[in-house]
Structure 1
């Protein structure tokens, strides 16, 4: 985990889900839509998307926000999805019986999802807004 320096806008809150029964490719398709969004905006996007991967990801965002609220006393409205990553997990291997005594292999992939939320505090850097963080622009005072 990265150390928090002076350029970090607030504390980082992590939530990790391991061995989720979906492929990492399908989870990344959903994750790329919420990267850089605020907490409420990410939940709204996940609720309206028609993919099955949205439900475990929204549960994980709820869990990260609950961690922030309970452990650090942060307000959920001030949270930003700063970093999201999906890694491939173990592959469950099964056999599908086929004709004439043959067996075809079936691979059931899993993935690990990590979500990091940050607090947005306007007192630290009043120039930088949520939209500029989402686009990757960071302006510093000289």
Structure 2
């Protein structure tokens, strides 16, 4: 998926709590929201299992999208020619932190 399509969803969830992020991603009408939702679930499961963080008290501290390699294909055209198709990919990184209990 393109970086720009994912970036507009990531901008909406950055800095929000875990439950609020899940509600936003389920209601956003963009196609990029489902892969990001799966990624947030995975990040929360990794944080709770590996670091012992509580999912209810965590928030999205850092979320970034970087461009990945292009998937290159050839599409047949008229007169035996070919037309290149460049399908963009991206790398998504999400970091969860626990809210400080002050």
Q: What band does the TM-score fall into relative to the shorter chain? A: over 0.9
Q: Which residue of structure 2 aligns with residue 78 of structure 1?
A: 57
Q: Which residue of structure 1 aligns with residue 75 of structure 2?
A: 96
**Residues 104-131 of structure 1 deviation map (CA, whole Å, 9 limit, x = unaligned):** 11001111000011100222xxxxxxxx
**Unpaired runs of at least 5, structure 2:** none
Using the size of structure 1 for normalisation, the TM-score is 0.69
* Residue in structure 2 matching 1:109, options 77, 85, 88: 88
Q: Which residue of structure 2 aligns with residue 58 of structure 1?
A: 37
Does residue 34 in structure 1 map to residue 46 in structure 2? no
- The alignment's C-alpha RMSD in Å is 0.9
- List structure 1 runs of 4+ shifted beyond 6 angstroms: none
**Unpaired runs of at least 5, structure 1:** 1-21, 124-142
Using the size of structure 2 for normalisation, the TM-score is 0.95
The alignment covers a number of residue pairs equal to 102
> More helix by proportion, 1 or 2?
2
Cα offset, 1:87, TM superposition = 0.4
Rounded Cα–Cα distance in structure 2 between residues aligned with 1:23 and 1:83: 20
**Residues 13-60 of structure 1 deviation map (CA, whole Å, 9 limit, x = unaligned):** xxxxxxxxx111111011011011100101110000111111111111
Larger Rg over CA atoms: 1
